[in-house]
Amino acid sequence: MAEDCLFCKIVRGDISAQKVYEDDDVLAFRDINPEAPTHVLLIPKRHLPRVTDATAEDAVLLGKMLLGANAVAEREGIAANGVRYVFNTNQDAGQIIFHAHMHILGGRPMGWPPG
């Protein structure tokens, strides 16, 4: 884990978060500035700065992120009507916390294009 990373601090328990899902490898918690009625962030517990930093060795972890996101969508009641999973990677895409994370959004119709 990175000492100064906000999400690593949440994983360690140094900063509280409203957790909605957790297993050995990933953690999901409510976004403090939601962009939809349901807005959850899902992170790997291991520090990975960007999803583009993932290697072949991270394939299982990335799969666990997707399965965790599916579990969150079901638990939150947004899977049936529609859910959006988003990774923002690097500055131009809007990444501001450099610990890979997936946004899980739902509870309202989503427009396209998204940005």
Catalytic residue numbers, as ranges: 101
Which residues, in sequence order, are bridge partners of residue 21?
28
Question: Pairing state of beta strands 38-44 and 26-30?
Answer: antiparallel
Tokens of 100: 């890979």
| Paired tokens of 60 | 């299982």
C-beta separation of 88 from 95 below 8 A: yes
